[in-house]
């Protein structure tokens, strides 16, 4: 699949036609066991292939969690490469969940691994961490712009430990999370000026905002109006439901891409059951966002 337009435009079209849903590919040991598979490379490959065959032609986004492939070494990474390529060939956008974050040439190397079209791990988008300073992401931002890829930047995560950094209030009265969202709004504004003109497509620089936490931003001077997508984990196992999204995300709910893993994957390895679970959640999200 060649990239001919910015990620945000492709994501908007996928959300509008396939439904606003991201399904994680998280082959951790307990889920492999639940599927009757071994905790080995063969089980990893069977699991990943089944998810791709079941969902890549119908959901908007598939999100492999890199760590569950990396733990098997080079053979696991080879499975990840095939998973990414097969999913993209089938029409899904692929978001690599690797949460990379570093500085200088190291960040540039991470970006090249996932955002350079010549890389065997080239994806439509990548999750990144800005907590070495938002400017540390500059190499990834530059390459994403050049390749038509996207980034999802950790902003307000649902893990309890995240609050000590993300909820910290700066001298200007804004939380760190709110500051990151402000940076993303600036990046999407620049993209609109340089790439999208006055079009209505989403920006390519999104934020990760827990589906249980978005409404806490207002108290710290934040806004979810970043002109970009909002990846929202927390549906299902963490307690949020699609019906909660409008209250949490307000006017930005139409740009929310809920991320669900176990809520869909627990229905495997039956292909029809995986498809039915994904379709039901996507429909519930679509209905809630109207």
Whether residue 180 contacts residue 152, with contact meaning beta carbons closer than 8 Å, is answered with: no
The tokens describing 187, both together, are 């990046």
The tokens describing 173, both together, are 């009265």
The dihedral sign for the CA sequence 143, 145, 150, 156: positive
The separation between CA 239 and the C-alpha centre of its own chain, rounded to angstroms, equals 19
The dihedral sign for the CA sequence 62, 66, 70, 75: positive
Backbone angles phi, psi at 263, to 5 degrees: -60, -25
Whether residue 121 contacts residue 114, with contact meaning beta carbons closer than 8 Å, is answered with: yes
207-243 b/e with 16+ CB inside 10 Å = b? Answer: bbbbbbbbebbeebbbebebbbbbbbbbbbeeebebe
- Residues with a catalytic annotation lie at 99
């Amino acid at each position: 699949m060649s990239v001919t337009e910015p990620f945000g435009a492709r994501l908007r079209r996928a959300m509008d036609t396939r439904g606003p849903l991201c399904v994680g590919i998280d082959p951790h040991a307990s889920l492999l066991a639940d599927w009757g598979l071994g905790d080995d490379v063969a089980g990893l490959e069977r699991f990943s292939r089944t998810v791709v065959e079941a969902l890549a032609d119908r959901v908007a986004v598939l999100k492999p969690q890199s760590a569950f492939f990396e733990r098997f070494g080079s053979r696991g990474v080879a499975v990840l490469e095939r998973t990414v390529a097969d999913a993209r060939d089938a029409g899904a956008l692929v978001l690599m969940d690797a949460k990379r974050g570093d500085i200088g040439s190291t960040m540039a190397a991470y970006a090249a691994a996932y955002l350079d079209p010549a890389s065997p791990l080239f994806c439509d988008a990548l999750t990144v961490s800005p907590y070495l300073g938002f400017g540390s992401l500059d190499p990834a931002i530059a390459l994403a712009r050049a390749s038509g890829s996207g980034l999802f930047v950790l902003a307000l995560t649902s893990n309890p430990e995240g609050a000590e950094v993300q909820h910290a209030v700066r001298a200007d009265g804004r939380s760190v999370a709110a500051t990151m969202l402000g940076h993303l709004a600036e990046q999407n504004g620049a993209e609109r000026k340089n790439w999208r003109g006055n079009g209505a497509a989403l920006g390519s620089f999104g934020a990760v905002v827990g589906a249980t936490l978005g409404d806490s931003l207002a108290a710290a001077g934040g806004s979810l109006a970043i002109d970009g997508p909002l990846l929202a984990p927390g549906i299902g196992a963490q307690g949020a439901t699609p019906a909660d999204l409008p209250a949490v995300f307000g006017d930005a709910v139409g740009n929310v891409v809920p991320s669900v893993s176990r809520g869909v994957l627990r229905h495997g390895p039956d292909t029809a059951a995986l498809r039915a679970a994904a379709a039901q959640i996507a429909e519930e999200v679509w209905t809630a966002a109207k």
